[in-house]
């Protein structure tokens, strides 16, 4: 039986300094995620944050009219649940597993506690959140101009791989 993937396979977790890893890693729980599994639905209360290591998770925005817009694909470079550690209890997005695999789950409260400490962890997560926001804005721009249809926009190319969530 192969060994489970290490937390350091997630690039954000690997980038934490030793002190932050010592505080956070004991709270990480390895979870297996199946393709099509809903990690969380838009508008529902969440308490867990996920750091994918081998899974890929699709974020989509559902404005309430029954349609879903794919806004980002998150793999081992990132984290799912940013609104939760920004003091939001409800996410405006849905997260659905696109590629089955593993992720490390941690309580949003534990992660928030770490981010409230002085040190580089907050800067690291905020830098990721800024990058993710920029990616979401680019995807929205591509969708507005129907570039995703002909797959000529690199940030929209995930649309051909992932299941629709509507």
Q: What pLDDT score does 158 carry?
A: 45
Task: Please check whether residue 66 is in contact with residue 77, taking contact to mean a CB–CB distance below 8 angstroms.
Answer: no
Q: Could you give the CA distance from residue 101 to residue 32 in angstroms, rounded to a whole number?
A: 6
Q: Could you give the CA distance from residue 156 to residue 67 in angstroms, rounded to a whole number?
A: 17
pTM more than 0.85: no
Consecutive sets of 10 residues in the chain, 166 residues long: mean pLDDT of each?
Answer: 83 92 95 95 86 95 71 91 75 90 94 85 81 68 49 42 43
Buried b (16+ CB within 10 A) or exposed e, 69-78: bbbbbbbbeb
Structural domains in the chain plus CATH codes: 7-160 (2.60.120.10)
Q: Angle, nearest 10°, between helix axes 108-115 and 120-144?
A: 120
Q: What pLDDT score does 139 carry?
A: 59
């Amino acid at each position: 039986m192969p060994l489970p993937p290490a937390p350091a396979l997630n690039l954000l977790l690997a980038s934490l300094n030793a002190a932050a890893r010592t505080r956070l890693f004991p709270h990480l729980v390895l979870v297996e995620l199946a393709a099509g599994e809903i990690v969380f639905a838009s508008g529902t209360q969440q308490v867990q944050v996920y750091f994918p290591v081998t899974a890929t998770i699709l974020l989509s925005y559902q404005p309430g009219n029954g349609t879903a817009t794919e806004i980002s694909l998150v793999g081992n470079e990132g984290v799912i649940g940013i609104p939760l550690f920004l003091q939001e209890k409800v996410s405006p997005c849905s997260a659905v597993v696109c590629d089955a695999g593993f992720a490390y789950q941690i309580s949003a409260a534990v992660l928030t506690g770490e981010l409230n400490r002085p040190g580089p962890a907050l800067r690291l997560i905020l830098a990721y959140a800024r990058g993710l926001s920029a990616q979401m804005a680019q995807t929205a721009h591509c969708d507005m101009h129907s570039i995703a249809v002909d797959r000529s926009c690199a940030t929209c190319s995930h649309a051909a791989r992932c299941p629709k969530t509507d």
